[in-house]
Amino acid sequence: MLVDQFGRNHNYLRVSLTERCNLRCTYCMPAEGIALRERSEFMSQEEMIAIVGRFVNFGVDKIRLTGGEPLIKKNFSAILNELSKFPVDLAITTNGVLLDRYIDDLKKAGLNKINISLDSLQEEKFNRISRRFDFKRIMENIQLTIAENFNVKINVVLMQDENIDEIVDFILFTKDKEIEVRFIEFMPFNGNEWDWSKTVSSKTIQNKISEHFGLNEIETLPLPPNSTTRNYKIKGFKGQYGIISSVTNPFCDSCNRIRLTADGKLKNCLFSNHELNLLEAYRHNENIDPIIQQIIHAKKEKRAGIDSFESESAALIYNANRSMTTIGG
């Protein structure tokens, strides 16, 4: 098992299939986009499957496919088919634009858990945040996945002066749908112009919800093992909501996540700018198992060593980190 120096077992691997995306969300990708690189700098399908296999041997039993946008990967269906042969729980995070094309492939692979990024229920606002015009198609695909009985979660990155006024609307979206809406604090990454004034804290989120629905109408749900989300629901609603407070109140003490980037780098924390190159080692026929163990053991106790996001040392870490689209979330 992949156990760090704080006794945390890492059994959850997030695999980025590509850095590219068909949206340009402000908090995820710099306005100018990202520099395109040669295909040889990224894992091939065969290399990815082989490297992922080493993690499975270490006890990884959950794999989430991310991007960029994973569904724009040309050989996505072939990759999905190969990964489905591992004894793991498969999941995916997507912007939802292309979901209708892959419903049958996802079902065939036994992938039932789909997280869809949607930062506004208002078309004009969504277009402004995403810098694209795919709102209607995404909403149709959300309805499609619900109708096809997928386990659907909607990821909402909240930002002051942007979509904070839609918190109640997103809660109402769960009234007649068996889905989970997850409010995510705006996090600092290279190129996304983060600062405290744009972050909506978990306390602010709950205050707005309780002011509208009443504190007695909010049910606190059990906390699953290794969860990053505090879960709640409004009494009588079919769906539920959660809050991911990575900035103001993280769940680092139970973190079980590892991230493999599309170019074959291993990250032990979303906030860390420290990476080890598994792909290069693999191509040189090196045993990558000790490298994997090394970076897991080196994992910091909390947020890559960031105690306060207001410090200059914290800014040096997250500004030297990748943009979100090249990490995979």
- The string of pLDDT tens digits covering residues 240-259 is 999 998 777 777 889 999 99
Closest CA to 15 of 76, 66, 78: 66
Q: Dig out the tokens for 202 from the structure.
A: 């978990």
Q: Dig out the tokens for 255 from the structure.
A: 């973190």
Domain of residue 122, residue span: 12-327
- Positive or negative, the Cα torsion across 75, 43, 81, 60? negative
- The answer to whether residue 177 is domain-embedded is yes
- The answer to whether residue 146 is domain-embedded is yes
How is residue 283 annotated by DSSP?
Answer: H
C-alpha to C-alpha distance for 12 and 187, rounded to whole angstroms: 21
- The answer to whether residue 1 is domain-embedded is no
- Positive or negative, the Cα torsion across 191, 197, 198, 201? positive
Q: Look at the chain and report how many structural domains it folds into.
A: 1
C-alpha to C-alpha distance for 243 and 258, rounded to whole angstroms: 21
- The answer to whether residue 163 is domain-embedded is yes
- The string of pLDDT tens digits covering residues 268-322 is 988 888 899 999 999 999 999 999 999 999 999 987 777 766 665 655 555 556 6
CATH classification at residue 132: 3.20.20.70
- The answer to whether residue 166 is domain-embedded is yes
- The answer to whether residue 7 is domain-embedded is no
User: Which pTM does this prediction carry?
Assistant: 0.92
CA 250-253-254 angle, to 5 degrees, is 100
